[in-house]
A and B are shown apart, each in its own frame.
Chain A
Amino acid sequence: MTERIVIVGGGTGGTVLTNRLTDELAHEIDAGDVEVTLVNDTPEQTYKPAFLYVAFGKKTMHEARRPLSDLVDLRHANLLVDRVTGIDTESKHLTLAKDDGGLDYDHLVLAMGANLDPDEVPGLKEGGHHFYGPNGAEKLRDALAGFTEGHVVLSVIGVPHMCPAAPVEFVLMADAWFRERGIRDQVEITYTYPIMRAHGIQSIADWATELFDERDINLETFFNAEEIDPEANVVKTMEGTELDYDLLVAIPPHTGSELVSDAGLGDDGWVEVDKNTLEAKNADDVYAIGDVADLPTSKAGSVAHYAAGTVAARLASRVRGLVPTETYDGKTICFIESGMDEATFVEFGYGDEPVVREPSQLLHWSKLAYNESYWLTARGLI
């Protein structure tokens, strides 16, 4: 009997997992004992960390996309471009938008990522920019290019959100970018965060707060935007404060997937999983990796990458009738730009407090080099 492994979502986690599985299980796939299918609703993958650079005109969306057919080994994996519309974990069946027959599985891995939900905050779509999607990043690029004076407000509204360091990076890059253009003295920059400090991770908050102070970036904490007035250019908060802006860059609220909540896999659309095995708590033979998994760490590409390696090893053991022993320890790595030509990075696991290293030009180049070589990660090579 063929063991059918179905992976939903062709982002970092989905493609790394597909490639690790087809590499590890090539012999079993050739023998017809295992079948690997990757389902994605578009035929291409978008590298989301590029959005930050698109906003400053340093990258184009064209550079940030690759066809999935170039990223996975089609000799050993099926690539299905369709949208999953329902998950039945009892009958182990997926319903699909285009294929009436749907898809049966023996092992299911959910890797659909996170979704933006700007409608949660009235006025946000009309009054705010963002760099968390291709269209938003391109519009923000145009707005920034034409911005010569006034108040830029970066407001983190949605927590948890993808790429937790990106808002800090944005204001530090904006500061350097406006200085390069010779107009920094005409631009005020404010960064707002929902809790009592500048970032969820204490050491990053401490580091960022010191840099903000050095670079004349205002910091507002306990700042939870609940309404934007796009006519008056004002952010109104749950705490009763108001902040005027000329250019609002918001991190929109994020949501998980309705597929997840409808299937009973997690109330808020994030899949409840064992943080070490990545196995769903509410169904058998279901795993989740990447942003859609409710893990006590960052929603970052590196988390999807390393979790995919763990699930690949566990699934390989399962289909071979062995006891899976591989576990995920929360390993997370984030490069953090601290200007236009310097960066740092942090590495941590579950429960660790990361050390923020001294920023350097070398680390900035390392981040840019990794952005170029990311497609080797997607292919399962690095």
Chain B
Amino acid sequence: MSESIQPDVTVDSRGATCPGPLMDLIGKVKKLEPGTVVELLTTDSSSSHDVPEWVDKAGHETLDVVEHEDEGYWSVFIETTK
């Protein structure tokens, strides 16, 4: 599925430890219009779980979480709903 997702915005938080990636995403989402697709790049494994938890809590939608095993990072795709 993820190969077909074309993000409107990419947040590159690779190298940042928790809660950096989530805070980077929250800061970005604050400024986006509904219906924006965001790809969060993170090397922090816990963020691949914590970010979808916040996305759900905030009423947005997690589209996919993709692990790039060879490169050692995750892509978390979300879509803003409000």
Q: Which of B36-63 contact A (CB under 8 A)?
A: 50, 53-54, 57-59
Is there an interface contact between B57 and A226, defined as CB atoms closer than 8 Å?
Answer: no
- Majority SS of interface residues in chain A? loop
With A194-B23, A194-B26, A224-B26 in contact, do A240 and B59 touch (Cβ < 8 Å)?
yes
- Min CB gap B73→A, angstroms: 15
Per the bound structure, the CA–CA distance linking A159 and B25 in Å amounts to 12
Per-position binary interface string of chain A over residues 344-369, scored 1 when its CB falls under 8 Å from any chain B CB and 0 otherwise: 00000001000000000000000000
Please indicate the chain B residues that have their CB under 8 angstroms from the CB of A101 in the complex.
none
Q: In chain B, what residue has the closest Cβ to A238?
A: B58
Give the interface size bracket for A toward B: 10 to 19
Is there an interface contact between B54 and A195, defined as CB atoms closer than 8 Å?
Answer: yes
Is there an interface contact between A296 and B16, defined as CB atoms closer than 8 Å?
Answer: yes
Q: Which of A195-250 contact B (CB under 8 A)?
A: 195-196, 200, 222, 224, 226, 238-240
Which 10 pairs between the two chains have the least Cβ-Cβ distance? A195-B19, A222-B57, A200-B19, A159-B23, A239-B58, A239-B57, A238-B58, A195-B22, A196-B50, A224-B26
B contact set with A: CB distance below 8 Å:
15-20, 22-23, 26, 29-30, 50, 53-54, 57-59
User: What are 28 of the A-B contact pairs (CB < 8 Å)?
Assistant: A159-B19, A194-B19, A194-B22, A195-B18, A195-B19, A195-B22, A195-B23, A195-B54, A196-B50, A196-B53, A196-B54, A200-B18, A222-B54, A222-B57, A222-B58, A224-B26, A224-B30, A224-B58, A226-B30, A238-B26, A238-B30, A239-B57, A239-B58, A239-B59, A296-B15, A296-B16, A296-B20, A351-B17
